[in-house]
Structure 1
Amino acid sequence: MKIGQDLAEITAGIDRLYRTGLGGENFLQKEGLIPVAVAEVTPRPFRDWTEVQDSLAALRERIPAEAETTRRTGWLDEMSTSLASLSRLFAGEEQSFELRLKEQVRVDTTLIGDDILDTYRADLRDALDEMGFRNGDLAEDVARWEDSTAVPAEQVIPTLDTLEAEAQARSNGLIFDIGDDWIKCVGVRDVPFNAYCDYPGRQLLLNLGYRYTRFELKHLAAHEAFPGHLVHLARREALVADGRMPLDGAQVVTSTASSPLFEGIADNGMEMLGWIETPEDVAGLALMRLRSALRCNACWMTFAEGKSIDEAAAATAGPSFQEVDVMKHRLALVSHELRAPFLYAYWCGDDAVRRFLAATKDWDRKDVMAELYDHMHTPTTLLAAAA
């Protein structure tokens, strides 16, 4: 517990030092390194990045003796490595995109190949065939299907409210019962995201600049609320308050070792709720994963291959079955230095949690949920926990 408190205080200190160098008041700048903390953490006072590195090095020396479990040893090692790398970036170190993925997000993924993309296309093709969308090529059939299931603009928020209520009932029974805690759907525009869980304000901010299919709203109800970010943060808040989770569990820290599992749990929400019920859901899930993978590839093209965001969007929009302007907007996050590798957290996190759920299908369900929600994990430590 002591080393967890120290890690939390160091992380809060890094966030405060990082914020002092930021200019502007846009949405992503205001988030800083820690957009959400569900407990009070006193920032460690740092004058410069050398002090940060020294503090992290001292903490790392303590990990073998003070980590409470093997699980905690892996987590503390990966998270402190991640923070040290980010701190060097903030201090002005030139870093390759591959290094940032490996050290900060803690994933080895670079370009996602056609062997994986083709599995999503095959699942999508089969589901569309089952629904009767089999008269054109795949791109034409995807377009016709999405047109047919698009939710009218005036019905988007009411539909999301209804789906969130169903997700809440399932989540309280199958995941964790967090009572009547709720996030209100609020429409916004001109923001660099399609949806955002404002946990402190208990709002689900939905970008009304997009068109949404029913599957996309169903997925967002699970991802942002039940059993995704709302449930995950409420669970961590309760555990930290009760002294059952170390203080580092109170922080959401952007583009770090913690990011893939934060997003991966949310992206597997429908699976955990037993809510993949129809060919429409299967098609939507395959299309979501295809687009997530191709957004990773667009980031790689931009930061590893030197292409402009316009060029990367043009190269991946067609294979994503999206318009170029839509793809460009979905890449808006990567224009912010801290967020450059963050889109990998979605695909890599989804993949890690999916593999964990498959590997633990014979476990007691309560143990599976406890491992996912009650411990801080990276993709590596989560898969090790399933071994």
Structure 2
Amino acid sequence: MKLGHELAGLTAGLDQLYRSTKSSDGFLDREGLIPVAMAPVEPILLRDYNEATERLQNLINRLPQEAESELRLAYLSEMADSLLMLIETFQEKPVSFQERLKRQLRVDTQKIGAEIFDGYYSTIREKLDELGYRSGDLTEDVKRFEKDNRVAPQAVLATLGELTKEARRRSNAMMYDLDDDWIEPVAAQDVPFSAYCDYPGRRLILNLDLPYTTYSLKHLATHEAFPGHLVHMGLRERYVKEGLMPLDGAQVVTSSASSALFEGIADNGLFFIDWVDTPADELAVALQRLRSASRCNAAWMLHVENKSLEDIAEITAQTAFQEVSTVRSRLSFLKHGLRAPFVYAYWCGEVAVHDVWKTVEKDRRKEFWDHLYGHMHTPSTLRDFWK
């Protein structure tokens, strides 16, 4: 527990340093490095980024002798190095986008290849055929399916609320009962996200500038609430309070080694509660994955290939069967210094968790969830330490 307490204090101190350099009052800057802390953490006061680097390096050097387990050694090593990488970006050192993905998010993915997209297109075509959308034009069929299932703007919040209640019922029955905890859907506009889990305020903030189908709202109910972020943070708060998880587990740290698993757990919520049970659900999952992969490639085009956001929005809209205005809204945070690589946390995290989930026998699901939600992980630690 001592190392987790030290890492939490250093991360909180780094958050203070980062916030002190930001003059913007925009949503993303207000979030800072730690948007949510589920337990009080006393920051270690740091004079500057050089002192932060020295202290983190000292922690890394001690890990082989002091880490409580092989899993903690692996996780803390990756997380501390991730913070060192973040410091380099805060100091505006020349760091490549590829290096940020590898060291900061701990993912090997670069630009996602055509074979991945072809797999999604194949599934989308197959499920559209099953549902009777057979014009022969894939783009037309996708748009018709989504139009037929679009929720009227005035009904979006109520629909999301009902879907969230069903997601809670399933999560409580199959996974963890959090005593009927709730998160209230509320509307927002002109924000750089589609939905956001305000854990302290128990609000599920939904961007009403974007269109939603029943299936995309179903995804958001599980991603943001049950058994996604709300459940994940609720359990981490409980485990830290009970002494079952080190203090660093109480912090959500943006664009760090923990981000891919934070988003990957949420993106697998539909599967955890057995809520992918129709061809339309399978189609919606394929579309979600396609669009998530497309946003990764949009970030790559911006930061590596130096394309303009306008060109990227056009390319991504065509690739992902979306309107340019919708894509442009979803890509608005790609130029934010802290969050530039963060979009990779979704696709890479979903794949990392799902690849392991597919190997879990039904009678070991509870054991798997306890391991997944009860420990801090990166993609590689989950792969290497789940048996």
8 Å CA contact 2:263, 2:345 repeated in 1:
yes
CA distance in 1: counterparts of 2:231 and 2:17, whole angstroms: 30
Corresponding residue of 1:172: 172
Partner deviation per Cα, 1:155-205 (whole Å, 9 max, x = no partner): 111111111000001101112111111100001111000100000000000
- Tell me which residue corresponds to 2:245: 245
**Counterpart residue number, 2:302:** 302
Q: Which residue of structure 2 lines up, in the alignment, with residue 50 of structure 1? A: 50
What one-letter code is carried by the residue in structure 1 that aligns with 2:76? L
Stretches of structure 2 that go unaligned for 5 or more consecutive residues are: none
After superposition, the C-alpha distances for 1:332-360 in whole angstroms (9 at most, x for unaligned) are 12121100000000000000000010122
Q: Secondary structure at the match of 1:185?
A: strand
Offset of 1:136 from its aligned partner?
Answer: 3.1
Tell whether 2:92 aligns with 1:92. Answer: yes
Q: Deviations over 1:45-70 (max 9, x none)?
A: 01111100100011001111121111
Report what 1:318 is aligned to: 318
- Deviation string, structure 1 residues 204-246 (Cα, Å, up to 9, x no partner): 0000111100000100000000000000000000000000000
AA in 2 matched with 1:200: P
1:210 and 2:210 correspond: yes
* Separation in structure 1 between the aligned mates of residue 101 and residue 336 of structure 2, nearest angstrom: 15
Q: Is 1:359–1:386's contact at 8 Å kept on the other side of the alignment?
A: no
Residues 249-328 of structure 1: pairs in structure 2 closer than 5 A? 249-328=249-328
Give runs of aligned pairs for residues 1-387 of structure 1, distance below 5 A: 1-361=1-361, 364-387=364-387
The alpha carbon displacement at 1:314 in A equals: 1.5
Distance 1:171 1:362 in 2: 16
Instruction: Flag as ranges the 4+ runs of structure 1 deviating above 3 A.
Output: none
Q: Is the CA contact 2:371–2:386 (under 8 Å) kept in the aligned structure 1?
A: no
* Cα offsets for 1:236-278 (capped at 9, x unmatched): 0000000000000000000000000000000000000000011
Taking the aligned partners of 1:139 and 1:131, their CA distance within structure 2 comes to: 15
Offset, 1:2: 0.1
Work out the CA distance in 1 between the residues paired with 2:307 and 2:215. 32
Q: How many residues align?
A: 387
CA distance in structure 2 between the aligned counterparts of 1:115 and 1:133, rounded to whole angstroms: 24
Deviation of 1:362 after TM superposition, in Å, equals 5.6
TM-score, normalised by the number of residues in structure 1: 0.99
Helix, strand or coil at the partner of 1:319: helix
| 2:196/2:205 contact within 8 Å kept | yes
* 8 A Cα contact 1:360 1:386, kept in partner: no
Superposed displacement of residue 317, structure 1:
1.2
**Per-residue deviation at 1:361?**
2.8
Q: CA deviation at 1:38?
A: 0.1
Please list every run of 5 or more consecutive structure 1 residues that lacks an aligned counterpart in the other structure: none
Q: Distance in 2 between matches of 1:51 and 1:265?
A: 34
Q: Between the two proteins, what is the percent identity of the paired residues?
A: 52
Q: Measure the CA separation in 2 of the matches of 1:322 and 1:386.
A: 37
Separation (CA, whole Å) in 2 of partners of 1:45 and 1:133: 60
In the TM superposition, what is the alpha-carbon distance from 1:386 to its structure 2 partner? 2.8
SS for the counterpart of 2:63 is: helix
RMSD: 0.9
SS at 2:81's partner residue?
A: helix
